[in-house]
Structure 1
């Protein structure tokens, strides 16, 4: 297995970073993706409360068995505005902690010509600013809204080849109706981070279930990624913050391991 096991703190939003890191150590996981901390998605504010400053975070991380794989911002690439100020709040923390990726959502409902043009222009503007400031962290765009649909995602990757993608493997399969192996074949060069989860059909549509209890084709995807020697983070995005009825993340991580799911 060459994939880097990871989980999003969306699954344990009540925990501080130190508590989330403890959970990672318990399950032998070496990377954590920060989306929520101590009951809030304002990650920079919660990091400031816990560590005081970016240097304080860096000092704590030094020697820890857990690294930070990504930060999840709430900014959206498509739409009338692109909130660079929201992203910049994360930068001092990302740079201090050597976090390589900052997640932005795609946004929108259906990909339009205007979205493609705006995405290209905004990523170019971001790239110029990143180069000017000497930042190492970079943006990745999650397949969450308009880019869930296969053809939309393929078009965007084709027309904006410098876009870096956080591929939510479940969303493009369950919502977009595309086979994960086919999707991977089309977007692999631009994918830098993976989200995984499981679900099963129910009376009210699909519902999230513990890893291995649903019908997401994880085994086939793992086999393909392993065969290609993929080394990027594969992050369990257990959406307990938005679906509090779900079992605790601890149970989901145990299931993922005991079922040899990931």
Structure 2
């Protein structure tokens, strides 16, 4: 029997809602996990008390749901003092440990990495900070997932930052389906660049490369079928998460209207595997 692919949705798609509502939504749509957004506007924050953390963990685990990733907003390449970045990420690692989440999403947030990660300042900051954090992350069973985003939107760019840590289990990449493609990197190129580095996949669809307004999966321009084939060819059986950006586009459809399409995409991958 084919092993079903684990899949989740990001709570970015229903901003400000309580964890209990997300748990109910996950159960209704057959999700196996929930990607919790960590933000001041959400019920999941780094200032939660020990009791609040236990409550969140118990709500998910009590229903058999995983919390595969905490979607943080720390920027590993940011041109700010190291202490600010390290403090933010240490708080996220601690929160992940307390919630039983095995990973934390990290943005590059550099000054000019572009599609090839050419900015040496960005690379130096990332290497220095990851070197300081990875022993702590590993000790807590937490992986730092660097997303194809902002200053380093392609697989090649993110791989350039992760290359010094090849073989480290506490750091990996998130392939965000939109950003590499909209910056000119084709799915096969992204998959090749992240070979051996991929730790998580976020799926979404958008009107076009220039208009990133979210649309129902399969109705936009993001080549999700091609991305799916690239993952199938590499026997990807890791987590896939729907990132429906309703926090930034409040006029788009409710998350519940999008989840059936995400489930269909995941089911197709499971059958292919």
- Specify the TM-score bucket, using the shorter chain as the normaliser: 0.7 to 0.9
Q: Does 2:175 match 1:173?
A: no
Q: Quote the Cα distance in structure 2 between the aligned partners of 1:100 and 1:158.
A: 21
Q: Which residue of 2 aligns with 1:115?
A: 122
Q: Which residue of 2 aligns with 1:16?
A: 18
TM-aligned CA distance change 1:201 to 1:165, over 3 Å: closer
Q: Does 2:86 match 1:80?
A: no
Query: What is the correspondence of 1:108-147 to structure 2 with a 5 Å cutoff?
Result: 108-111=110-113, 112-130=119-137, 134-147=139-152
Matched residues, number: 255
**Unpaired runs of 5+ in structure 1?**
none
Q: Which residue of 1 aligns with 2:60?
A: 61
Q: Does 2:247 match 1:234?
A: no
After superposition, the C-alpha distances for 1:188-226 in whole angstroms (9 at most, x for unaligned) are: 211101111111239x73432111101211112212323
* One of 238, 249, 255 as aligned partner of 2:255: 249
1:179, CA displacement in angstroms?
A: 0.4
After superposition, the C-alpha distances for 1:139-168 in whole angstroms (9 at most, x for unaligned) are: 111111111145433433434534421121
1:59, CA displacement in angstroms?
A: 3.4
Q: Quote the Cα distance in structure 2 between the aligned partners of 1:32 and 1:22.
A: 11
Query: What is the correspondence of 1:20-31 to structure 2 with a 5 Å cutoff?
Result: 20-31=22-33
Report if the CA contact (8 A) 1:211-1:261 is conserved. Answer: no
Q: Quote the Cα distance in structure 2 between the aligned partners of 1:90 and 1:14.
A: 19
TM-aligned CA distance change 1:3 to 1:109, over 3 Å: farther
1:93, CA displacement in angstroms?
A: 3.5
Q: Quote the Cα distance in structure 2 between the aligned partners of 1:42 and 1:56.
A: 12
Q: Does 2:218 match 1:212?
A: yes
Q: Quote the Cα distance in structure 1 between the aligned partners of 2:47 and 2:253.
A: 24
Q: Which residue of 2 aligns with 1:222?
A: 228
* One of 94, 97, 104 as aligned partner of 1:95: 97
Q: Quote the Cα distance in structure 1 between the aligned partners of 2:184 and 2:133.
A: 31
- Secondary structure in 2 matching 1:208: coil
TM-score, structure 2 as length reference:
0.82
Report if the CA contact (8 A) 1:212-1:261 is conserved. Answer: no
Report if the CA contact (8 A) 2:111-2:151 is conserved. Answer: yes
Q: Quote the Cα distance in structure 1 between the aligned partners of 2:156 and 2:252.
A: 32
Q: Quote the Cα distance in structure 2 between the aligned partners of 1:156 and 1:92.
A: 24
TM-aligned CA distance change 1:261 to 1:231, over 3 Å: closer
1:255, CA displacement in angstroms?
A: 3.3
Report if the CA contact (8 A) 1:5-1:234 is conserved. Answer: yes
